[in-house]
């Protein structure tokens, strides 16, 4: 069968504003949106620009707004979408070209919450041990692949782009609640900022968008409670 693939195009060297372009693309039902984009690029227009790497939901590089929702192109099958597939870049981030957005601001917020283990004592000869129960506390937030689908679906982020956003909070949570880490207090101070956790309005768009099924709102509420109790 064929689908109509509508792509938001923008070339900063020639275009004043984004515009839509449609292609009729032959597909199989089990094809994923990433396959359709790749076919359109190979068969119709080699200048169509998008990011991808693993093609298996691991690297997080092909999060796009597909039929109005942020999702990974490599995890969404054509049969889930119908005959018209509309693909636009993630909202709220500057467009570099076509479907590619500038992720630097997003990663800057990620880096701002110290997303690494801080422990004063040297490792010694063994591993830093923790119990299964201690590991379970932050298991969900270890699953993040930094795709940005959550932050760019958040109305609080659209309204206030300085908001640190759900992805950064998820990655702060991963270390704040790690029993081996010693920098929770510093992270909580960072997230107590006016652009930190308090900007969340529990809208849940982030939870719906997350391709890893992370309960982001639960993580944000746990971090908020820790900020309040610090």
Question: Looking at beta carbons only, is 19 or 201 nearer to ligand F3S?
Answer: 201
CA-CA distance, 77 to 96, in Å (whole number)?
26
CA-CA distance, 162 to 227, in Å (whole number)?
19
Question: Looking at beta carbons only, is 122 or 213 nearer to ligand SF4?
Answer: 213
Largest CA distance in the chain: 61
Q: How many residues does the chain have?
A: 230
Q: Are 186 and 124 in contact (CB under 8 A)?
A: no
3-class state of residue 101 by DSSP: strand
Question: Looking at beta carbons only, is 27 or 149 nearer to ligand SF4?
Answer: 149
Query: How many residues make contact with ligand FES (CB under 6 A)?
Result: 12
Pick from 59, 100, 137, 221 the residue near ligand FES by CB under 6 A: 59
Q: How many CB atoms lie within 10 A of CB 91?
A: 14
Instruction: Report, in Å, the least distance between residue 5 CB and ligand F3S.
Output: 28
Question: Looking at beta carbons only, is 48 or 148 nearer to ligand SF4?
Answer: 148
145 belongs to the binding site for ligand SF4 (CB under 6 A): yes
Question: Looking at beta carbons only, is 110 or 175 nearer to ligand FES?
Answer: 110
Strands 2-9 and 63-66, by their bridges, are unpaired
What are phi and psi for residue 15, nearest 5 degrees?
-105, 140
Residues between 54 and 83 with contacts to ligand SF4, criterion CB under 6 A: 60
101 belongs to the binding site for ligand SF4 (CB under 6 A): no
Q: Pick what 61 binds: ligand FES, ligand SF4, ligand F3S, none; C-beta below 5 to 8 Å, kind-dependent.
A: ligand FES
Structure token digits, residue 33: 């949106």
Structure token digits, residue 20: 């839509």
Residues found near ligand FES in the complex (CB under 6 A): 52-55, 57-62, 72, 74
Residues found near ligand SF4 in the complex (CB under 6 A): 60, 144-150, 166-167, 170, 209-212, 214, 216
């Amino acid at each position: 069968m064929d689908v109509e693939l509508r792509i938001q195009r923008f070339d900063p060297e020639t275009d004043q504003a984004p515009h839509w372009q449609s292609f009729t693309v032959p597909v199989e039902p089990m094809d994923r949106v990433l396959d359709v984009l790749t076919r359109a690029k190979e068969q119709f227009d080699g200048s169509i620009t998008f990011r991808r790497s693993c093609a298996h939901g691991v690297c997080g590089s092909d999060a796009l707004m597909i039929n109005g929702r942020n999702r990974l192109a490599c995890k969404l099958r054509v049969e889930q979408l119908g005959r018209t597939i509309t693909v636009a870049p993630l909202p709220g981030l500057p467009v570099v070209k076509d479907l590619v957005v500038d992720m630097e601001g997003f990663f800057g917020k990620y880096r701002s919450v110290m997303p690494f283990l801080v422990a004063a004592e040297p490792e010694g000869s063994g591993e830093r041990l923790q119990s299964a129960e201690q590991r379970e506390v932050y298991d969900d937030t270890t699953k993040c692949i930094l795709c940005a689908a959550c932050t760019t679906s958040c109305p609080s982020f659209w309204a206030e782009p300085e908001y640190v956003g759900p992805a950064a909070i998820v990655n702060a949570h991963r270390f704040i609640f790690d029993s081996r880490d010693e920098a929770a207090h510093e992270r909580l101070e960072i997230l107590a900022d006016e652009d930190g956790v308090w900007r969340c309005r529990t809208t849940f768009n982030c939870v719906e968008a997350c391709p890893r099924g992370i309960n982001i709102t639960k993580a944000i509420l746990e971090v908020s409670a820790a900020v309040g109790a610090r």
